[in-house]
Amino acid sequence: MSVESFPRAESPRVRFGAEMRRLREAAELSQTAVATRLGCTQTQISRLEAATRTPSRSDAERLDLLFGTGESRHFTRLREHIVTPGGPVWFRNWVEEIEPNAQVLRSWDPLLIPGLLQTRAYARHIFELEPQITPEEVDQRVEARMQRQRILDGQNPPLILVLIDAGVLHRQVGGPGVMREQLERLLEMRTSPMVSVQVVDPGCLPGMAGPFMIAELPHGQPDAVHADSPVQGHITSDPEYVTSIRRRYETIRLWAYPEHVSLKMIEEAEQRWT
């Protein structure tokens, strides 16, 4: 399977319009017929399907009623992604389609605490320093990150194996209070049998290439990889690419301290953030 096998990184508005057109044609309804049922004009329906108009809450609710998708709130949920995007479209594919279905998530980050384990304050400070970001966008991204962490509390959470560079413990994000709370959060993870955090020696140069995640999926599905960059992340299950990232992960892991030593290092770092 290649990256093309995953949902395309289309905008939420385009996806809304495409779903609307698909169900309308499946029901053999014209745009005029749908407009009559929704109490609007054929032009408005055309603009919704062409993704040149943002659907209202009423539009979404009426479409759910019209196409019998009210129980799943299909169109209502699609609209929520338009008005509260909460992050890049390309990453939403990972968050919605891959991460929740993973059996094992392997993570490496040389710069920051990974998003799945970030506190609200730590995440907020990261987003606040993004170039040209608005306060509203900061709020949206923070909430999206907190919602993403709900997989940790699900009935069948994935096994999460986290590797972080030792420098992350001493890189200030926010004030000392933010760092202390964040490291306390990591220490709390020791009570979870599904989360493992290991600190990697800063001499591990193979890890400097950048952060990444590996998702091990069920039912014989190929593993998927997400590798980050300042511009756009890359998501793929191409065997050659996945094998390369897996080898790099194992190389980095050889530089990791045992978990009990790592926790001691986190405790010592937490005490220094006063």
Residue 220: give its domain's CATH number: 3.30.870
- Which of these ranges, 29-33, 67-71, 177-181, has the smallest mean pLDDT? 67-71
Question: Is the same domain home to 76 and 179?
Answer: no
**59 vs 110, residue with greater confidence:** 110
Residue 73 phi/psi, 5° resolution?
55, 45
Residue 74 sits in the same domain as residue 199: no
Let me know whether 176 and 49 are in one domain. no
* Mean of per-residue pLDDT scores for the chain: 88
**230 and 136 assigned to the same domain:** yes
* Pair 70, 136 in one domain: no
What are the C-alpha distances in Å from 63 to residues 32, 67, 72? 14, 6, 12
Among 49, 83, 117, the domain boundary falls at: 83
**Domain end marker among 34, 62, 83:** 83
Q: Check residue 62 and give its pLDDT.
A: 92
Taking residues 23-32, what's their average pLDDT? 94
pLDDT confidence of residue 51: 84
Same domain as 123, residue 79:
no
pLDDT-above-90 percentage for the chain: 62
Assess whether 143 and 213 both reside in one domain: yes
Which residues, in sequence order, are bridge partners of residue 235? 226
At residue 195, what are phi and psi to the nearest 5 degrees? -130, 130
Q: Binning pLDDT at 50, 70 and 90, where does residue 230 land?
A: low
pLDDT band at 12 (very low <50, low <70, confident <90, very high): confident
Name which residue leads in pLDDT, 236 or 185: 185
Query: 245 and 156 in one domain?
Result: yes
Statement to judge: residues 131 and 191 lie in one domain: yes
pLDDT of residue 8: 41
Q: What residues make up the domain containing 63?
A: 3-83
Looking at the fold, whether 201 and 251 belong to one and the same domain comes out as yes
pLDDT digits (tens, 9 = 90+) for 122-164: 999 999 998 888 888 899 889 889 988 988 988 889 999 999 9
> Per the structure block, which two tokens stand in for 236?
């793929």
Is 200 in contact with 164 (CB distance < 8 Å)?
yes
pTM of the prediction?
Answer: 0.70
pLDDT of 55 reads 84
Q: What distance in Å separates the CA atoms of residue 69 and residue 181, rounded to the nearest whole number?
A: 42
Domain co-membership, 215 together with 140:
yes
- What integer is the mean pLDDT of 200-222? 93
Q: Choose one of 62, 83, 104: the last residue of a domain.
A: 83
Do 33 and 94 lie in one domain? The reply is no
Confidence of residue 234 (pLDDT cuts 50, 70, 90): confident
What CATH number should be reported for the domain holding residue 65? 1.10.260.40
Q: Indicate the length of the chain as a whole number.
A: 274
Identify the CA nearest to 185 among candidates 162, 215, 204: 162
Task: Give the Cα separation of 271 and 274 in Å (integer).
Answer: 7
Distance between CA atoms of residues 189 and 162, nearest Å: 11
Distance CA 30, CA 32 (A): 5
> Is residue 106 within 8 Å of residue 249, measured between CB atoms?
yes
Total number of domains constituting the chain: 2
| For residue 232, pLDDT beyond 70 | no
Confidence of residue 214 (pLDDT cuts 50, 70, 90): very high
Which residue type is seen at 30? Answer: S
- pLDDT greater than 50 at residue 183: yes
Band (pLDDT 50/70/90 cuts) for residue 97 is confident
